[in-house]
Amino acid sequence: MSCTPKSKRALGGAVSLACAVFVLAACQAEPELTPDEAVHERAQERWDLRLEQEYGEAYEYYSPGYRQTVDAYSHVADQRNRAVMYTGARVVSVECESEICRARVRVEYRVPGAPSGLSRVTSERTITENWIHSGGEWWYSPSR
């Protein structure tokens, strides 16, 4: 079999086409999440960061309005000085209506400054968080 310039061009074109199809298939966008799924994911990510004491990174999940009124340094300092130490968190459910979602999160915590042996006691409860949709993203909106 001989390779003529014409057959080389045809082979090169076929390889290029196959590569383009492969690249396009690999680059397809992930399926878009429902609001419930997106908030569930972001709420768990925020709590995971808090549990790792990555308060600066967790700050990025707070609403733009919160971040306009509380700078990152103040936020981190406030989080580090809390009397309650969270030891676990799991998003158990999310309910959304239009641009607002409520995430129910089961948290485990202890109070290190509690008297005698109580500081080692771990408790748990379910809290409700508000999440708002703004600028194409879901943001945690703390109650004040």
pLDDT tens per residue across span 7-65: 555 555 555 554 444 444 445 566 798 999 999 999 999 999 999 999 999 999 999 99
Place of tokens 């949709």: 133
Residues 29, 90 contacting (CB under 8 angstroms) = no
Q: Is the overall model pTM greater than 0.85, yes or no?
A: no
Is beta strand 85-97 parallel, antiparallel or unpaired with respect to 100-110? antiparallel
Bridge partners, 134 (sequence order) = 137
Say which DSSP state 70 is in.
S
What does the pLDDT look like over 76-108, one tens digit per residue? 999 999 888 899 999 999 999 989 999 999 999
Say which DSSP state 3 is in.
-
Q: CA-CA distance, 139 to 39, in Å (whole number)? A: 8
Give me 130's structure tokens: 């508000």
All domains in the chain, ordered by first residue? 34-141 (3.10.450.50)
